[in-house]
Amino acid sequence: MTAQLAYDAQLAFKHPLGPATVEDWLAADTPVDGSRLELILGYFAMTPPPTSGHQRLSFRLARIVDDALRAAGTAALEVLPAVGVRISTPFRTALIPDLVVAKVGDSRPAFEPGDVLLAVEVWSPGNGKGERETKMASYAQAGIPYLWLVETPDGKPVAFRGYRLEDAKYVEVIRADNGETITAPGPVPVEIDTSALP
């Protein structure tokens, strides 16, 4: 049994799959109030509309990444906010990262994981530990090479974690907790002043 099949078998044993499929997720109506409908192991998961602070941080981060892609002359990649990614059809998982860096292509309802080079999640205090761990494991299982997690704790500086995928696991490459300027890992290096994000 390959390592990937063993991982998939463990995942299925620990988490019985729900009834919804990726096709059901694609066919579902988009919430009109701005909520995000994701699919995690066959179960629909609805998150409320992002706050203005969340959206401001995501927008600023997208501009920084877009500038870095342009400066590197990387016309084959683009940064996009809140697009669907089909993480795993067999494991019935489809997520909507806050930002992705993806290969430029035609307009589509959802990206395949092979088209996504970086996924970014902006966490707020309401994102529970189980959701965070499941999403991180899902991105790793899908083979997305880079992951950024941006924490927005109340009354504290933004916390930034940058990861690179190695041997089907994410390895932390960079960490910033107190408003530092860092160079984040990704398809191109991105310099981020984390104090300027909120």
Q: Which residue in this structure is represented by tokens 């998939």? A: 8
In a domain, 35, yes or no: no
Residue 18's contacts (CB-CB under 8 Å, 6 or more residues apart) are 41, 42, 43, 92
pLDDT of residue 131: 82
Which stretches in the chain have pLDDT values below 70? Answer: 1-15
**What number of CA atoms fall less than 13 Å from residue 97's CA on the CB side?**
31
Asked if 102 contacts 77 with a C-beta cutoff of 8 angstroms, the reply is yes
In a domain, 135, yes or no: yes
In a domain, 12, yes or no: no
Asked if 148 contacts 172 with a C-beta cutoff of 8 angstroms, the reply is no
Asked if 140 contacts 165 with a C-beta cutoff of 8 angstroms, the reply is yes
In a domain, 25, yes or no: no
Q: What is the CATH number of the domain that holds 87?
A: 3.90.1570.10
In a domain, 33, yes or no: no
Cα separation, 149 vs 175, whole angstroms? 10
In a domain, 140, yes or no: yes
In a domain, 8, yes or no: no
Asked if 39 contacts 58 with a C-beta cutoff of 8 angstroms, the reply is no
| Burial bucket for residue 177 (CB in 10 Å: 0-12, 13-18, 19+) | middle
Tell me, yes or no, if the pTM score tops 0.75.
yes
pLDDT digits (tens, 9 = 90+) for 71-105: 999 999 999 999 999 999 999 999 999 999 999 98
- Structure token digits, residue 75: 């016309």
Domain extent for 127: 50-196
Positive/negative CA dihedral, 102, 106, 107, 112 = negative
In a domain, 21, yes or no: no
pLDDT of residue 14: 58
Q: Which residue in this structure is represented by tokens 């694609």? A: 26
**Counted domains in the chain:** 1
pLDDT of residue 125: 72
